[in-house]
Amino acid sequence: MKPNMLPTVASDLKHPIMDNEKNEAMLIRSPNRRNRPLAIAFGVVALSYFAWSTVFSGYAFHMPCQNQKDQGTTLFPPVQVLSEPALVPLEAHIMSKCPDAKDCLKMLVLPTMQRVIDKVNFTLSYIGTPTDNDGVDCMHGPEECLGNIIELCASQLYPDPKIYLGFTMCMTRDYHDIPSKSLVEDCALEHGIDFDKLNECSIADNGGLGMGLLRDSIRRTKDAGVTKSCTVRLNENIYCVRDGGEWKDCPNGAGVNDLVIAVEKLYRSSSSEAQKSPSIAH
């Protein structure tokens, strides 16, 4: 067994927690914040929805976040055009501690979602490498795996992208600090997420629940042939990649307007196909 590989599910989660006081506190203890008033939480959700486009800058440098090990597999899942519902699949593949993921969410994914949220079926997926013993290797270390798990738990508990995507953007803004307890708490509060529930999801089944979510997510990414954080896919095809602080492979344009137009075009064509098909008989 390679020393830098995460040997088991249990140690995947326990290592970063036990080795670091901050992280230990984050997942194990949850101080007297249990009965946070719901009204405040919902107010914050409403506010933070409109604060999505809040300007943020100040990141220092860019490193490409590419999963070298998975290069070469480009199997796309089969596309079922006619039987699909009218919602257009939109997906972003990220790593929680990747600066390109931050740019990509902030510059493209969130502002686009604000405009087409009712027309897309959005999925946020993670990039990593499965290990032989049911664990996951993350490019930026076990802290990133834990960050991914916390974000996946948020999407499980609050499937509305307005909530979990806002939470993930909040975490990604301070990606260096992932998975510190104070960051997770602040972002949870800002987006009306119950920190205790998030904590429970992350440690449930001795970490097995969260690790299962992460494994499923990285398998989905692998099946899509995606290796770079951040990769945006539209209608199951790669639409644009943010890599090393630059946009790459974006033939249709990396602007918010370009993506919004592409989504709307697909949405219109899928709904007109759905209307046409019953009348083909006569």
Ligand X SMILES: *[C@@H]1O[C@H](CO)[C@@H](O)[C@H](O)[C@H]1NC(C)=O
Binding stretches for ligand X (CB under 6 A): 85, 87, 121, 123
Q: How near is the Cβ of 244 to ligand X at its closest, in Å?
A: 28
Toward ligand X, which CB reaches closer, 30 or 123?
A: 123
> Cα separation of 172 and 196, whole Å?
20
- What is the length of the chain? 282
Q: How near is the Cβ of 220 to ligand X at its closest, in Å?
A: 8
Q: How near is the Cβ of 78 to ligand X at its closest, in Å?
A: 12
Toward ligand X, which CB reaches closer, 180 or 231?
A: 231
- Going by the DSSP 8-state scheme, the letter that residue 17 receives in this structure is H
Identify whether the C-beta of residue 82 lies closer than 8 Å to the C-beta of residue 273: yes
Toward ligand X, which CB reaches closer, 72 or 85?
A: 85
- Residue for token digits 């979602």? 113
Q: Which two tokens stand for residue 55?
A: 């300007």
Q: How near is the Cβ of 39 to ligand X at its closest, in Å?
A: 30
241 Cβ partners below 8 Å, 6+ apart?
228, 230, 231, 232, 247, 248, 249, 250
Q: How near is the Cβ of 277 to ligand X at its closest, in Å?
A: 17
Q: How near is the Cβ of 41 to ligand X at its closest, in Å?
A: 26
Toward ligand X, which CB reaches closer, 139 or 224?
A: 224
Phi, psi dihedrals of residue 42, rounded to the nearest 5°: -70, -35
Toward ligand X, which CB reaches closer, 71 or 121?
A: 121
Alpha helices (H) in the chain, listed in sequence order: 9-18, 21-28, 38-50, 99-104, 110-116, 142-157, 161-173, 181-190, 195-203, 208-223, 256-276
Q: How near is the Cβ of 123 to ligand X at its closest, in Å?
A: 5
Toward ligand X, which CB reaches closer, 58 or 85?
A: 85
Go through 49-88 and write b for each residue having 16 or more CB atoms within 10 A of its CB, e for each that does not.
beebeeeeeeeeebebbbbeebeeeeeeeeeeeeeeebbb
Toward ligand X, which CB reaches closer, 21 or 216?
A: 216
Identify whether the C-beta of residue 151 lies closer than 8 Å to the C-beta of residue 93: no
When CB distances to ligand X are compared, the closest residue is 121
**Secondary structure (3-state) at 277:** helix
